């Protein structure tokens, strides 16, 4: 498999700071034992409860291991991390500051029998006060820090590690070319540059990742001076959708599914009806928001099931 070949050509290293394996286990139950997470259900009440404190507490029977941190290399051409100044080239090829786990999925087995996973994350925000020296915004870099991240993991020496320059490693940013499908495409156009402010998402039953874009308005204003034409009023309707990506295919062009509706998304979940039709649940990212449900009109297996329904 190509992924295995790519993994053998790159340097493998254990990265410090960031995501816990316990979090991964909630999204990929079959990998719990390999992740080093206890398969025994936690007790209803933890023994010897402690007062709240500033640092995290790991529960009995669990182990916390860090997988990746802000600034760690993802792509083969990733430069060394240097936050002063943080350049767009760094931001677009390294792990971002903000991340929300969508889930993990297993690629086809490789010939070397090394266990592998693909981890998918949304990158909702890039707060200037936390990232840039003196809090002075750098929109060109900020647009690259938000979006989405796909990471190769492999199990070596008793723990999961990232793969520098892994075959599926990918960043989705303000510069990512996307297709637009569904009923709104005829009115707003069938392509757009950028994925903006995805707040969450999920892994679908058919193995794709769904990113729910949040409110694009603040980002369109913030990125108005960049090179992607975000100051053009005709661009706004091209954001605020569900964006679908195939994490296993690094050449896959993300697709914005307009049949699922345009509103600021907070979370996304997918199920399948008894006759095989996808059902997508979406929460509105608003204190007075709603829960939306989309039922596909067909169980099409050609990638168009999310383009029509109610």
DSSP 138: -
State whether residue 242 is helix, strand or coil: strand
Based on the domain organization, do 280 and 195 belong to the same domain?
yes
Question: Pick from 108, 138, 172: which residue ends a domain?
Answer: 172
Cα 18 to Cα 308: distance, rounded to the nearest angstrom: 39
Cα 195 to Cα 238: distance, rounded to the nearest angstrom: 9
Sign of the dihedral defined by the CA atoms of residues 166, 226, 148, 262, in that order: negative
Residue 219 maps to a domain: yes
Residue 49 maps to a domain: no
Question: Pick from 122, 138, 172: which residue ends a domain?
Answer: 172
Which residues form the domain of 183?
174-310
Give the pTM.
Answer: 0.82
Contact in structure between 301 and 291 (CB atoms under 8 Å): no
Question: How many structural domains are present in the chain?
Answer: 2
Place of tokens 């003196």: 134
Question: Pick from 128, 149, 172: which residue ends a domain?
Answer: 172
260-275 per-residue burial string, b: 16 or more CB within 10 A, e: under 16: bbbbbbbbbbbeeeee
- Each of the 310 residues of the chain gets a pLDDT tens digit; together they read 344 333 333 333 333 333 433 344 334 333 333 333 344 555 555 556 666 566 677 888 988 888 999 999 999 989 999 989 999 999 999 999 999 999 999 999 988 999 999 999 999 999 999 999 999 999 999 999 999 999 999 999 999 999 989 999 999 999 999 999 999 999 999 999 999 999 999 999 999 999 999 999 999 999 999 988 899 999 999 999 999 999 999 999 999 999 999 999 999 999 999 999 999 999 999 999 999 999 999 998 889 999 999 9
Sign of the dihedral defined by the CA atoms of residues 101, 295, 264, 303, in that order: positive
């Amino acid at each position: 498999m190509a992924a295995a070949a790519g993994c053998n050509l790159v340097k493998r290293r254990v990265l410090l700071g960031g995501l816990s394996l316990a979090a991964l286990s909630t999204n990929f139950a079959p990998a719990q034992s390999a992740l080093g997470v206890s398969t025994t259900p936690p007790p209803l009440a933890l023994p010897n409860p402690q007062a709240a404190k500033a640092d995290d507490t790991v529960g009995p029977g669990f182990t916390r291991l860090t997988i990746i941190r802000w600034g760690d290399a993802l792509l083969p051409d990733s430069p060394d991390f240097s936050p002063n100044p943080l350049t767009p080239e760094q931001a677009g090829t390294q792990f971002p500051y903000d991340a929300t786990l969508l889930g993990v999925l297993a690629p086809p087995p490789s010939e070397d029998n090394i266990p592998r996973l693909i981890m998918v994350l949304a990158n909702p925000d890039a707060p200037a006060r936390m990232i840039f020296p003196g809090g002075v915004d750098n929109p060109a870099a900020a647009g690259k820090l938000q979006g989405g991240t796909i990471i190769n993991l492999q199990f070596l020496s008793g723990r999961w590690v990232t793969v520098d320059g892994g075959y599926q490693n990918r960043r989705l940013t303000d510069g990512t070319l996307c297709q637009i499908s569904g009923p709104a495409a005829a009115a707003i156009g069938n392509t757009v540059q950028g994925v903006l402010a995805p707040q969450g998402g999920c892994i679908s039953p058919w193995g794709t990742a769904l990113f729910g874009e949040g409110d694009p308005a603040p980002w369109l204003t913030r990125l108005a001076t960049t090179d992607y034409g975000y100051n053009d009023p005709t661009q706004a309707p091209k954001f605020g959708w569900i964006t679908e990506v195939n994490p296993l295919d690094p050449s896959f062009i993300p697709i914005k599914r307009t049949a699922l509706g345009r509103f600021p998304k907070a979370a996304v979940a997918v199920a399948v009806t008894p006759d095989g039709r996808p059902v997508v649940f979406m929460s509105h990212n608003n204190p007075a928001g709603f829960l939306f449900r989309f039922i596909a009109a067909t169980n099409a297996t050609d990638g168009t099931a999310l383009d029509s329904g109610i």
